[in-house]
Structure 1
């Protein structure tokens, strides 16, 4: 049913006023997001890099690959359970930043508890406690993934997101690499201890907490149109219709989830390398630095490519690089070659994460974005939950080579589906009309 002319005129005026407000506050919000991302990404990479935490769990568990896979899968499990709840919590709110502060603070508390577990508890008790806190970290991270991506879609125009995420991750990578090297050299040393890993995660808590405080400078607009508040069960009942209405988005969600299954190999890269070169603090620091620096410099390339050609292309490129790097790891030996492989893995990881996050924001209309983000993240993290657990079982039964081969299979299938069946959403101008905002000057 067509809207009356007066109603259409009012909607267009409201959209223009909203776009002008975003443009007027763009520099402030851009810099606030940049600072928040710089410190937040630096701290989170100490926890999420496939080096420190897997080695920490391996040490506490007495060398159990299954324990490594099972505990790390709890983070992804938490991230499965909360995105849809988070979307329902925020999509009717004029401003979402207050909810973001609450979930962000809870995430950082979980990091502190992971660190305290190693300092205060015996190894077996610490292992159980870390599992609980990793699950909690995943629960709040699943919420934050929806909230902060939606916030960015409100205050940063699509034409600026590639450069922002690229520059943010570039700067964070430099500081994360320096911090990782220092942690390996001074907190872990030649014989890494539980206390050394714990203090590394205390450092991650401090950095991410300072980063969160910088969001106090963000100015969030109230959108001209909001979804009415709806009970969660009723809102979930609308998901099948949403998926049926956009075949490209539905296929993208499935392709991204299949490719995310490739993440099953991530915890085992460092453990496989350790068989050849050992896992001293120096080795952990060097490989973590290689991983983070690769993400640092590659993010500038991914961001520039995405702004020019779209995030679909960079997502496909990151999947290809991920496959090649995994194959190279299976044939590498020595610290130098292994470091080069971790450079490729780091660049692929960052390209995949940055591209998948931003590509989701380009499907559909603004008032549907929280639910679309939640659906994509839920499917992706469901795969992320099963992946490390399956990887741990494969590593224990068949060895690391079987884990890497299975990972490559999932990456190949997800990449093929994305390339064959998902067109670049940026060019679907009708679907993106409500996301188009003035570019401003940055």
Structure 2
């Protein structure tokens, strides 16, 4: 395959593009269903791991320290930041990336399994250290999978149908996750099932994600029309990042907006701990909060997907960021279980919309052979901020209280919203290029 500097002639490339698009359309029903099945179960376990309830509560139970909660969750995102750009260098010269997606996906799930086992066989300081290690490795392989999987998505699902798939996938997967989260809180954690309720919940997450990834074996991936020549090295590609950012003003604005939005997650691990100052964090209460957060995230995904297909991810980003900020204000003002449940609904819907927009918006910038690095660069900035956020939040919570964390989160979310407001909808550029 050719490099970006030596592409096929226009007539030949047009013919290749026609054959490529024909294959995409021919395999679309199969690929749509495979991705949907993966989302229904594969993402369910990940939602349990990422929900601001079980993992923070487990780490706090082990350590009794807000800083430790930030450290453990920060370790996960440091792992993601370390691997994203490296992942791009592993796939950008490949005509097909399905094998990478599948292999890395299993390594990611293995860390959930090991975390679950560690809760049964270890306790105290040892369990805390192992949790940090496995969360860091979970993040490392998650960062790799994020780049490879999103690139695969850009190849097999057309732009104007991606929102429908993501919305439906997240809706069905979220329904399952919400139910599992409630069961996990009410029955597994609440009754300390099998000797450790948190371990039982993590093991259930592993089982669900393992079933889900099997569906990806049915994906039919077309060979890329153009790929980069194999990079001379990781350092060379890193050195090219400044030029990549300078080359597209709108992508650069998105890059900064996503990083700021990710820094807004500084408050996420502390939602449930803040509520715990006013209501008892029993297994049932954790179930209620998890159900509210995940169910609202689930239902809103149908709306976010419809908006994305019709109007683009820029609007999804703006609306979800505004909702996320409003729900944070409600949490600050809350002091009772009903208000907190409503706040968690808004937090889930807003945070869910931000995740959908931030991870899929990038797929509409640049050309196909540029996408792996465009995805990786924005992912890396996002993960670094999400690593810094919990660590910073833990220190602030310890010395200054939760309110300052929430106001800091509101500030960076507002800056992120302004940045996206100023950029042009990239889908309009794509339409102009093909007209």
Q: Structure 2 CA distance, aligned partners of 1:276 and 1:432? A: 55
Contact 1:56 1:194 survives alignment (8 Å): no
Q: Structure 2 CA distance, aligned partners of 1:4 and 1:210? A: 42
Q: Structure 1 CA distance, aligned partners of 2:6 and 2:261? A: 45
Q: Structure 2 CA distance, aligned partners of 1:91 and 1:25? A: 23
Contact 2:262 2:382 survives alignment (8 Å): yes
User: What's 2:238 paired with?
Assistant: 236
User: What's 2:198 paired with?
Assistant: 197
Q: Structure 2 CA distance, aligned partners of 1:170 and 1:230? A: 39
Which residues in structure 2 correspond to 1:12-161 (within 5 Å)? Answer: 12-61=14-63, 63-161=64-162
Query: Residues 243-298 of structure 1, C-alpha deviation per residue, up to 9 Å, x if partnerless?
Result: 11111101210111012111010000000111111110000011101111101110
Q: Structure 2 CA distance, aligned partners of 1:202 and 1:387? A: 27
Contact 2:155 2:222 survives alignment (8 Å): yes
Q: CA deviation at 1:240?
A: 2.0
Q: Structure 1 CA distance, aligned partners of 2:229 and 2:381? A: 25
Contact 2:7 2:226 survives alignment (8 Å): no
Q: CA deviation at 1:336?
A: 1.4
5+ residue gaps, structure 1, are: 437-442
- Confirm or deny that 1:390 pairs with 2:429: no
Contact 2:189 2:198 survives alignment (8 Å): yes
Q: CA deviation at 1:238?
A: 2.2
Contact 1:38 1:172 survives alignment (8 Å): yes
Q: CA deviation at 1:347?
A: 0.2
The partner residue of 1:246 within 245, 248, 260 is 248
Q: Structure 2 CA distance, aligned partners of 1:432 and 1:201? A: 47
Q: TM-score, normalised by structure 1?
A: 0.94
User: What's 1:439 paired with?
Assistant: none
Q: TM-score, normalised by structure 2?
A: 0.96
Q: CA deviation at 1:122?
A: 2.1
Query: Residues 6-40 of structure 1, C-alpha deviation per residue, up to 9 Å, x if partnerless?
Result: 92111110011000000000000000000001101
Q: Structure 2 CA distance, aligned partners of 1:76 and 1:55? A: 18
Q: CA deviation at 1:194?
A: 7.6
The farther-off stretch of 23-32 and 34-43 is: 34-43
Q: Structure 1 CA distance, aligned partners of 2:249 and 2:339? A: 43
Query: Across the two proteins, how many residue pairs are aligned to each other?
Result: 430
RMSD value, Cα? 1.8
User: What's 1:412 paired with?
Assistant: 414
Shift in CA distance, 4/176, structure 1 to aligned 2, threshold 3 Å: closer
Contact 2:226 2:368 survives alignment (8 Å): no
The farther-off stretch of 223-232 and 130-139 is: 223-232
Query: Residues 85-140 of structure 1, C-alpha deviation per residue, up to 9 Å, x if partnerless?
Result: 00000011111010111110011000011111111012210000010111101100
Which residues in structure 2 correspond to 1:367-378 (within 5 Å)? Answer: 367-378=369-380
- Confirm or deny that 1:349 pairs with 2:351: yes
Contact 1:191 1:281 survives alignment (8 Å): no
Contact 1:395 1:403 survives alignment (8 Å): yes
User: What's 2:291 paired with?
Assistant: 289
